[in-house]
Amino acid sequence: MGTYCLLYWGIFQDTLVWIMHSWRHNSFYTHGFVIFFICLGLFLLNGVKIKASIFQPESGLVPGIVFCILVTIGLLLRFHYLIGLSFIAGALCLNRMFLTNEQLGFVQLPFWIMIIVIPVPFLNEVSGYMAYTVSRAVAIMLGALFTSVEVDGISVLIPGGVAFDIGTDCSGASSILALISIAVLWLVSFKDNPKITYALIALTMPIGFITNVLRIVFIFIVATAWGMEYAVRFWHDFAAYIFYSMSLGILFVFWIVIKRFMKDEIRLRKLVME
């Protein structure tokens, strides 16, 4: 067992350090530690209630094969994301080999949730493209309010000399990822029709994008009324909380509407074994 643990640590040590470093220093994943401790709490609460287990290696065959493929490609390419996914696959494999179907429903859930906080590759490149797209969307909305709007790359200028650069921090990628994380935790807490779950996850992206564009438009309006310094120092961060809360509210309304349309009752899911 000790040899196995050392081998496991040797494979995942660098990747685990990379993940924790991303949670600490990458603005896209500042919620990573919160999700981790929630998942760890769920795993421990359910794990201590397992009285007996059975060894059924055939049940872990599929996730075991997935683990081998992911970890091999990840180590050969030094691709931390694939190695991180293989860690999840390895954990699911062990769960299926030693737990009953009833126990699996509780113990493996935290591992599935953890997938959302494994840093996605090429996110900086994607957020750069999103910043460019956001600047165009902001310019279109500002065009309905001001006589002339100029766009140069990610820079947006309106009359009065008010100009802002829509950088990666304003691209909306971080708020969309955080919104997806909240949506996943929310959805796993309720018994929903799978179609409702997929619909809500898909809606997080357009809702997060649109509310982020509205936030930036609002900052432009504040800058024209009270000055750029006031808009940047106060409203930039304050508006982020307001519009992020708005995106959560919109998502909640869609959830209620879709559930009523599909005549699906609101029922809490049991997350901890009795």
The SS3 call for residue 157 is: strand
Domain count, the chain: 2
Task: Let me know whether 91 and 127 are in one domain.
Answer: no
Percent of the chain with pLDDT over 70: 96
Q: Which of 117, 145, 171 is the last residue of a domain?
A: 117
Task: Let me know whether 210 and 251 are in one domain.
Answer: yes
Question: What does the pLDDT read at residue 166?
Answer: 86
Q: What gap in Å lies between CA 137 and CA 133, rounded to an integer?
A: 6
Residue 252 has pLDDT above 90, yes or no: yes
Residue 4 has pLDDT above 60, yes or no: no
Task: Let me know whether 154 and 250 are in one domain.
Answer: yes
| Domain extent at residue 28 | 2-117
Q: pTM above the 0.85 mark? A: no
**b/e burial code for range 88-122 (CB count within 10 A of at least 16 → b):** bbbbbbbbbbbbeeebeebbbbbbebbebbbbeee
Task: Let me know whether 144 and 92 are in one domain.
Answer: no
The SS3 call for residue 119 is: coil
| pLDDT tens, position by position, 231-248 | 877 776 778 788 888 999
**189: exposed, middle or buried (Cβ count in 10 Å: 0-12, 13-18, 19+):** exposed
Residue 99 has pLDDT above 50, yes or no: yes
Task: Let me know whether 151 and 227 are in one domain.
Answer: yes
Task: Let me know whether 150 and 192 are in one domain.
Answer: yes
Task: Let me know whether 55 and 173 are in one domain.
Answer: no
Residue 163 has pLDDT above 70, yes or no: yes
Strand partners, 157: 150, 163
Q: How far apart are the first and last CA of the chain?
A: 29
| pLDDT tens, position by position, 18-52 | 999 989 888 778 888 989 999 999 988 888 888 76
Q: Residue 197: inside a domain, yes or no?
A: yes
Q: Residue 274: inside a domain, yes or no?
A: no
Task: Let me know whether 182 and 152 are in one domain.
Answer: yes
